[in-house]
Structure 1
Amino acid sequence: MVYDPSLIAALAARPQPYGGGVRVGHDSRTDDCNLPGSHGEHVLQSLFATGERAENFYRRQFTERLTHEMREFIARQEMAFVGTADAAGNCDTTFRSGPAGFVRVLDDTTLVYPEFRGNGVLASLGNILENPHISLLFVDFFDDLAGLHVNGRATITTALDAARRYGLDDDDRTSPGRRVERWVKVDVEEAYIHCSKHIPRLARKDRRDGPRPAAGDHFGVARARAGASPRDGNGPL
């Protein structure tokens, strides 16, 4: 089947009277169309005939607040994937980790995570400065084999201000031996499950076992810029 771009454009241009976007294919005058998600995803649900499955997922799995189970899940996690975008929509995804509980849940609509000294680029924080929309994906590869999406709006606060406002400090729950330079506060707007299908089960191992972790020019960028061989480090590419 070929999908006519003009049809997609026409559907996407329909009015969006509801906060989460209009459910394309429903009559907004008679049907309750106030469902989560973007207008674009609703357009494609109509086009690809997945609306009934999507609606079932929205009603059963979407929430605007962190449930008790979600809060406990986050408190057990040692890693998170963080997605941000600048004002033009250029995206960046990064990885954050620490001891279990390094992401703190303050209440059912607020969480915070720490920022440490890094490479100085500050890509994620720079995006947040331009565009506060943020997504966090927590995946438990070890026990639950499930994931949790948390989307919301982010603000940056200093370590001093976070200590004063929220009682946050540098302790073993954040990251032993590392000083928090600032915190990112996320006001939760939606949360939903990432199901266990295709999530691999991993095993924890001591970082000191096996080969040294990759560091430096692992992907050969500096070597490529210098015109060196990827095999022996000498000669042209």
Structure 2
Amino acid sequence: MFATRDRAERFYERQVVDRLTPHMRDFVARQEMVFVGTADAAGNCDTSFRAGPPGFVRVVDDTRVMYPEFRGNGVLASLGNIMENAHLSLLFVDFFDDLVGLHINGSATITTAYDAARRYGLVDEDRTAPGRRAERWVMVEVEEAYIHCSKHIPLLTKQDRRERRSEGRRPAGDDYFGVGQVKVAGREREEAGKSVG
């Protein structure tokens, strides 16, 4: 349909591997963010963002990586999806130095912080997120790893969060996108409809 089969086959032959190369392992160890893609048993997708100091995603060996899960909003979309469907994708993008990305696709399992510490020695909280304690860890068994080329990756610069606040920017709180206002308006319309009927 899209006439790209030959290019795709060349890419798979040259760039896709079933384990992490030494360069990939070094790359992951330098990253401060990752996008996590999951889907439930019905195929409904979710993409989440995770961040921490360099090395917060740990390379266990050339076929396994682990990332920490912290206390969040309680929805647990990624973990809930993993419990129904173990397929997971990780996308690391270096926007600041190398301008390149790394895709890791694989199968995920969830483990407790206790088990991660006992089996893999993952107890150094300062490397995962200072002041935060991992409640669980997700182990990803690598099935595919390949490059995301730099062609359309923008070069970004880091800025201290405190500087941004002093610029008078609106804080990104719980209702940054005005969902509360929309829900109140919806309830008011619903109530008005009931009183008319």
Q: Same fold (TM over 0.5)?
A: yes
1:89 and 2:49 matched = no
- Alignment partner, residue 30 of structure 2: 76
Amino acid at match of 2:174: G
Alignment check: 8 A CA contact 2:108 2:140 kept: yes
SS in 1 for 2:36: strand
Which runs of structure 2 are paired with 1:126-145 in the superposition (5 Å)? Answer: 126-145=80-99
SS in 1 for 2:103: strand
Distance (Å, rounded) in 2 between the aligned partners of 1:141 and 1:58:
24
Distance (Å, rounded) in 1 between the aligned partners of 2:54 and 2:182:
38
- Alignment partner, residue 180 of structure 1: 134
1:106-126 Cα offsets, whole Å, 9 max, x none, are: 000000000000001111000
- Please report how far the alpha carbon of residue 170 of structure 1 lies from its aligned counterpart in structure 2 after TM superposition: 3.9
- Alignment partner, residue 178 of structure 2: 220
Distance (Å, rounded) in 2 between the aligned partners of 1:82 and 1:73:
17
1:133-156 Cα offsets, whole Å, 9 max, x none, are: 000000000000000000000000
Alignment check: 8 A CA contact 1:159 1:181 kept: yes
SS in 1 for 2:26: helix
- Alignment partner, residue 102 of structure 1: 56
- Alignment partner, residue 198 of structure 1: 152
Alignment check: 8 A CA contact 2:125 2:133 kept: no
1:76-95 Cα offsets, whole Å, 9 max, x none, are: 00000000000000000000
Unmatched runs of 5 consecutive residues or more in structure 2:
187-197
Distance (Å, rounded) in 2 between the aligned partners of 1:162 and 1:48:
44
- Alignment partner, residue 5 of structure 2: 51
Moved runs in structure 1, 4+ residues, more than 6 A? none
SS in 1 for 2:93: strand
Distance (Å, rounded) in 2 between the aligned partners of 1:48 and 1:98:
39
Tell me the TM-score normalized by structure 1.
0.75
Match of 1:209 among 163, 184, 188: 163
Identity across matched positions, percent: 73
Distance (Å, rounded) in 1 between the aligned partners of 2:92 and 2:123:
23
Distance (Å, rounded) in 2 between the aligned partners of 1:180 and 1:197:
35
- Please report how far the alpha carbon of residue 172 of structure 1 lies from its aligned counterpart in structure 2 after TM superposition: 1.5
1:8-28 Cα offsets, whole Å, 9 max, x none, are: xxxxxxxxxxxxxxxxxxxxx
- Alignment partner, residue 161 of structure 1: 115
SS in 2 for 1:210: helix
**Equivalenced residues, count:** 183
- Please report how far the alpha carbon of residue 48 of structure 1 lies from its aligned counterpart in structure 2 after TM superposition: 2.4
- Please report how far the alpha carbon of residue 56 of structure 1 lies from its aligned counterpart in structure 2 after TM superposition: 1.1
Tell me the TM-score normalized by structure 2.
0.90
Amino acid at match of 2:91: L
- Alignment partner, residue 13 of structure 1: none
Amino acid at match of 1:139: V
Based on CA coordinates, which of the two structures has the bigger radius of gyration? Answer: 1
Unmatched runs of 5 consecutive residues or more in structure 1:
1-46, 229-237
170 and 120 in structure 1: CA distance in 2 versus 1, 3 angstrom threshold: farther
- Alignment partner, residue 17 of structure 2: 63
